């Protein structure tokens, strides 16, 4: 009987080890953004003719600090270039289109595959509740992520966002890449093709 507490502690420790192994990212993936998904097909980022035309005559821009680059339409200008945030925008005041990119460094061993699956399920639930009107797995330049678009807001001046989230390994670090294009409800339709075009033009070092 005196050995029972020892056995219980040993069993609990083994259970914790098993749980830890389940939370670790799969070692079979070349990148945390390339893992297989059981919740739906993964589309490849591909510009339509309208999106290509919206970028015609545009400019190539790069965020050298993070090894990311895009094509944006003419007359877009840079407003922020920091170590973890990068912002460009079009002319147009409140109704302008915005490219807002942020990087979130993650701890070693963070379960990126589980996290991105949870993001997909969360956005699918949001779509059922009418908060977003588009959700899909999207691979951009070899990195799998979740793309979603907010539903049309009620007020003309409210902001509507098109967003993509994905994980990558960069410079030995696991990172969450948050890629957002936005405009007002009024400005979104006129900028929609160029915002999708900018998103799908993303080049990612990983």
68-86 pLDDT, tens per residue?
Answer: 999 999 999 999 999 999 9
Q: Give the pLDDT confidence score for residue 11 in this predicted structure.
A: 43
133 in Cβ contact with 152 (< 8 Å): yes
pLDDT the model gives residue 39: 73
Distance CA 142, CA 38 (A): 18
d(CA 154, CA 170): 39
| Residue 33 pLDDT exceeds 90 | no
Q: What is the pLDDT of residues 89-100, one digit of tens each?
A: 999 999 999 999
Domains along the chain with CATH numbers: 32-204 (3.40.1000.10)
Angle at the Cα of 60 from the Cα atoms of 175 and 62, rounded to 5 degrees: 30
Average pLDDT over residues 142-148: 98
- DSSP letters of the chain? -TTHHHHHHHHHHHHHHHHHHHHSPPTT-SSGGG---SSS-EEEP---HHHHHHTTT-EEEEETTTTEEEEE-TT-EEEEE-SSEEEEE-SSGGG--EEEEEEEE--TT--HHHHHHHHHHHHHHHHHTTSEEEEEEEEETTEEEEEEEEPPPSSTTSEEEEEEEEEEEETTEEEEEEEEEEEETTTHHHHHHHHHHHHHT-EE--
Indicate if the pLDDT at residue 40 is higher than 90.
Answer: no
pLDDT at 70: 98
């Amino acid at each position: 009987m005196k050995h029972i507490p020892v056995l219980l502690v040993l069993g609990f420790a083994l259970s914790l080890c098993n749980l830890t192994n389940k939370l670790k990212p799969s070692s079979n993936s070349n990148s945390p953004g390339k893992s297989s998904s059981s919740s739906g097909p993964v589309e490849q980022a591909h510009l339509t003719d309208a999106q290509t035309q919206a970028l015609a005559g545009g400019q190539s821009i790069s965020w050298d600090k993070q090894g990311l680059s895009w094509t944006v339409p003419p007359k877009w200008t840079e407003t922020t270039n920091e170590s973890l945030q990068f912002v460009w925008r079009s002319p147009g005041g409140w109704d302008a289109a915005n490219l807002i990119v942020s990087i979130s460094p993650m701890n070693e061993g963070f379960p990126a595959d589980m996290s991105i699956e949870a993001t997909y399920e969360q956005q699918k639930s949001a779509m059922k509740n009418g908060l977003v009107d588009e959700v899909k797995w999207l691979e951009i330049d070899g990195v799998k992520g979740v793309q979603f678009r907010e539903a049309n807001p009620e007020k003309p001046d409210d902001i509507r966002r098109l967003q993509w989230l994905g994980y990558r390994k960069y410079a030995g670090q696991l990172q969450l890449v948050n890629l957002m294009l936005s405009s007002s409800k009024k400005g979104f339709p006129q900028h929609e093709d160029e915002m999708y075009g900018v998103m799908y033009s993303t080049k990612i070092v990983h």
